[in-house]
Structures are given as structure tokens and as C-alpha cells.
Amino acid sequence: MKSSKSYEELLAELNEVRIQLEESNDTLEAIRSGEVDALVVKNKDGHQVYSLKSADHTYRIFIEQMTEGAVTLNKDNLILYSNSQFATMLGLPLEKVIGQQFVKFIIPEYQNTFRALILRAWDQNIKAELLLRSSTSNGLPVLISMKTLDLDEGVSMSMILTDLSSQKETEKILVQKNEQLEEAQKIARLLNSNLEATVKERTRELEITLSDKTRIEEDLRNNQERLTRILETMAEGVVIVDLEGRLTYANPMAQKILCGSKDEKLTTIFGCDQWKNLKIDGSDLPAEEHPIMVMMARGKEVYDYEIAVQPKNAERFYISLNAAPLRDRYGNLVGGIGTFMDVTNRRKISQQKDEFISIASHELKTPLTSLKASMQLLSRIVSSNPGSEKIPEFLDKANKNLLKILYLTEDLMNVSKIQHGQLPLNKTKFNLSTLINDCCNHVKADSSYNFIFEGDEEVEVCADYPRIDQVVVNLVNNAVKYAPDSKTIKLKVARENGMVKTSVQDFGIGIPPEKLPHLFGRYYRVDPSGIQFSGLGLGLYISAQIIERHKGTIGVDSVLGQGSTFWFTLPTA
């Protein structure tokens, strides 16, 4: 293959082209101005002398043999004469050029420029660069020289058009060479900088004594061997990924859990032809929602995140993952590590427990409801025929206990419905402040509490009235239960970012910060200062599920010694 020309060779060729162009233009200018009386033309037969005054035919042959295009225009910019070279430059037959408006052969972006130039050219000589339409290229760059000619038939415009394609290509190559040279200089500077840094680093390393270096290497080797033995014998699967989520390490247990065999090589954590990841509900788990990738996106640890794994020819199983970021010594995220274990048995036990709760709740509710009705009837009979002063008191306690059992049973049934996605919502449009006032009558009846309502009394929402009533009652009951010494309860309703925010504030002892993230978990109970409160720890969990199903959010703000504010948001009606 022919080697590329050097920068100096290309520059020399460009200068030679420019010199030839200037000589041609000077010759043509001398011919037009009459400074040349004759031409000496060399051919195969030797030299011949042509008189310009008597050699019109020869002059036309000379024009036809020019490497430049030659065109004559009239005052209307029509082409009166064109040599063959100009037609060749356009890629058109000569007969389709003569008689046409010259501007037709200029690309649209340069047509206004040409019109301005031609107007000036009738008064002065003009040189400029334009792009011609050409059937062989997107735009042919030319140098156009314009000069008026005073002919017998009147003043005409003479134009000489020089093809600049080679020159432009040469300039382009020169620009590329310059860019390559600048890039090479940048690389050289960078290499020089890296070399200096490397020299400094190597110098620092050499300052360490040979004995220290040997000891450090021995310690590193021992630590690596211990770490390898630990990872190889762990009962949990361990994987390491880079910033793009590509698997860089997997211990034997990870290969056994996901591939079914320690001998089969694990190549990815996102699934393959032999197995795939699923969400707990059975739908596909996108790679970006995988707990390890969630950890990488947030840069924070993820704990006990359960997903399902569906092998191609085996029963579905479940794993629990923990993921943590890996950082370099400067704190930059460089990858992530994930550990996981098979929790299929744990999930089956949890499912069995949920099924038991559902069955027990259903079986208990009917006789308890009947017993409550019977006790209420007995209470009315005893009230009308009192036989003992103690009977009403005992009946009242029995009714309260039965009511408590019904509440517990209802909570258990709600949990079962939530777990199986069977908590239906019957949404209607209603006034939120009216609901709050109605559902808090049991607190208002106790004159020792100061019940304060603030905010928008006209705001309306579209939601399930009984479910939202259940949430508000639960939050108010918690305020009474967990802040017994605070007799002021403040409820507030306000519009906020297109949502309606409802908050219940008490002024009790508050909740420790480390317990706040767990408040809305199932069966979680807060016992501040060692005080034991009754309940199954399901109220806030159920409330959170109800609000989430309404496309809202729920949360809590608390300061020890100052009280707590539980809040939730709902879309406006």
C-alpha cells in the first residue's frame, strides 16, 4: 500500500498548485487586457506562434484546453459562453449549461452570496470561493474570478472558475495532521506526567526497607489465603461485580445455589438460559431492580432483600441477598459485593404462618361476634333487672375484652388479606376533615384530652372511607397510648405538592431514632423506657399498606422528649 505523504510534501504540493493557479490567472489577465500580442504554443510538431488579433479559432481552442472553467455572462447573468471544462465540473453536457442562469449551478446556501458578488463585480474585479452543484459530489469548491469585458456586442462578465477540490483536500489533510500532532503532544504530556507520578511512587516504594517489604508481602499472602479459604467454605453465596454489574468473582456456594452445581461456572447474577430472577410475586425482575444494582445506584448497603429464582427444569426457590459497595482508598465506588442464602424454607414457614393466621382469624371471628351480641343482650336484661351491683361491672369488662379480641382478630385478617393481595378498596369522594372529626369522637368524649384541628376544612379526597378512617383511628389511638402524659393531640390537614397531607401530633416522650425505620414493619412494637403496651404491632403496618394502595406515602417525625408526628398523604379528589 502506498504510504501517506508527509506534512512537508503536502505543503509543497499545495504551494505548487497555488503558483500554477496564479500563473494561469496572470496569463488569462494579460490576454484579456491586450498586453499579449501573440501566444507560443508547443505541440508535437514543435513551437507555433499565434497572433491574437487573427487567431480567434486558436484562442477558442486554447480556452477549451484550459483546466479551469471559463464562462461569459450578460447583464441578466445568463451564460453566453462556457468552455467544456466548466460543463465537466458540473457533470452536465455543454448544451445544458449555455443559456442558463449561472446562479442555478450554485448550491442554495451560496446563491445569495453569489448575487451580492456579481453586483459588485460589474464595478470591480472580484475573487471569491463558492460551492457549485455537481452530479459527482455534494458540492464542488471553486475559486471564481470575475471581471467585466468590453466586447463589440457590449459589456459582459468574464468568469474563470478554478477547481479547489485538491486544494481543499490538501488543507483537510493538513488540518488532520495538525490535529494528530496536537493529540500526540497531549499524549506525550500525559505520558510525561504519568511518568513523573510513577517515578515519585516508585521512589516512595523504594524507601521501604527490604525486610518491611518482605513482611508486608507475607502478610498480604497469608491474608489472601485465609480470605480465600473463608470464601470457599462459606455456607452463603458470595459474588463480586464491577461498576457495570459484570461478575468478577463467585464462590462455590454461589455457583451451587444459582447453577445447581459447584462445578458449573457462574457467569452472571442477572439470569441466563438455565435460570432467571423473579420478583416475589412471580413477575420478571429487571436487572436495574436487582438488589446488587440498587445498591450500586444508591451507594448504600441493602439487607435481607428477597427475590425468587426460577430454574429451567426445577422448582422455584427464594434467596435473601445482602449487598454492600466496594470503594477504593479514595472513597470512589469501584464495584459491589453480594452475599445470599437459600431462604425457601423460611418463606414456606412464613406462608404457612400467614395461612394459619387467616384460618384462625376467620374461625374466631364468627363465634366472637356472636358472643359479643349475646353479652350485649345480657347486659340490657341485667340493666332492666339488676340482681347484683357487680354484674354490670363484670359485663362491661367482658364487653371491653371481647371488643379488644375483635380488634385483634380484624388486624390479623387484614394482615392476611394484605399478604395475599386481597385488600380491596372501595373509593368514594368525601371531605377529609369530616372524617377526622367523626372518627375521633371516642377521644373527644374524654374531657381530659385537648383535641386541636388545624388546616383546610374543605379539602376532599377520593379514597376508601372505612380504610382511611381505620388509619386515622389507629394514629390517634397510638398518640393516646404512647403519650399518656400528653393531653393535647393536634391534627392537621394541608395541601402539599398536589397531595393532601394529614398529620397527628402528640407531645409525649418521643421515639428513639434507631427505631424509626422499623415502625411500619409487621409485628414491630415500640416499648419506650421499658414500658410494655398491648397489641400485636400490626396497626402501623396495616395503615402503611392501606396508604400505599391509595398511591400515597406515610411517615413519622419524632424528637425524644418533645413528641411524635405521624403523617400520611393522599391524592386530591
Query: Which are the contacts of 119, defined by CB distance < 8 A and separation ≥ 6?
Result: none
Across the chain, mean pLDDT equals 80
Q: Give the model's pLDDT for residue 78.
A: 92
At 532, is the pLDDT very low, low, confident or very high (cuts 50, 70, 90)?
A: very low
Can you read off the three cell numbers belonging to residue 301?
448497603
Phi, psi of 100 (to 5 degrees): -95, 155
- Residue 155 pLDDT > 90: no
Distances (CA, A) of 562 to 456, 457, 475: 25, 27, 17
Residues 6 or more apart whose CB falls under 8 angstroms from that of 165 comprise 137, 140, 141
More confident residue, 260 or 180: 180
CA pair distance 313, 267, nearest whole angstrom: 19
With 70 as the cut, is the pLDDT of residue 536 above it?
A: no
pLDDT at 458 over 70: yes
pLDDT for residue 49 is more than 50:
no
User: Rg for the chain (alpha carbons), in Å?
Assistant: 46
Residues in contact with 166: Cβ distance below 8 Å, sequence separation at least 6, in sequence order? 17
pLDDT in tens, 311-329: 988 889 999 999 999 999 8
* Predicted pLDDT of residue 70: 92
- With a cut of 70, say whether residue 53 has pLDDT above it: no
Give residue 71's identity as a one-letter amino acid code: V
How high is the pLDDT of residue 47?
47
Any residues with CB less than 8 A from the CB of 18 and at least 6 apart, and which?
167
pLDDT value for 399: 66
Task: Answer with the residue of higher pLDDT: 337 or 211.
Answer: 337
Q: Which three cell numbers stand for residue 271?
A: 439470569
Strands 450-455 and 488-496: parallel
Phi, psi of 447 (to 5 degrees): -65, -10
Residue 533: count of CB within 10 angstroms of its CB = 13
Bridge partners of 250, per DSSP, are: 239
Lowest pLDDT segment from 166-180, 400-414, 494-508: 400-414
CA-nearest of 72, 140, 148 to 110 is 140
Helix axes 390-419, 539-549, angle to 10 degrees: 50
Specify the DSSP element, H or E, that contains 465: helix 465-482
Paired strand residues for 144: 128, 161
Please say if the pLDDT value at position 567 is more than 90.
Answer: yes
Q: What is the pLDDT of residue 101?
A: 92
Residue in 242, 266, 240 with CA at minimum distance from that of residue 255 = 266
| 471 φ, ψ (degrees, to nearest 5) | -65, -50
Q: Provide the 8-state DSSP code for 78.
A: B
User: Is 246's pLDDT higher than 80?
Assistant: yes
- Give the whole-number percent of the chain exceeding pLDDT 70: 76
Going through 312-449 in order, the beta strands assigned E by DSSP cover 317-327, 333-342, 427-431
pLDDT digits (tens, 9 = 90+) for 5-33: 677 777 777 778 777 777 766 666 565 55
- Report the residue count for the chain: 573
At 466 the pLDDT is 85
- pLDDT score, position 1: 45
Name the grid cell of 269: 447474577
Q: What is the mean pLDDT of residues 254-268?
A: 83
- 183-192, 195-204, 381-390, 446-455 — which one is most confidently predicted on average? 183-192
The pLDDT-based confidence of 365 (bands split at 50, 70, 90) is low
Q: What is the reported pLDDT for 88?
A: 87
pLDDT above 70 (res 209) = no
Closest of 144, 142, 112, 141 to residue 126, by C-alpha:
144
Nearest to 158, CA basis, from 53, 59, 52, 28? 28
CA angle, residues 79, 85, 86, in degrees to nearest 5: 35
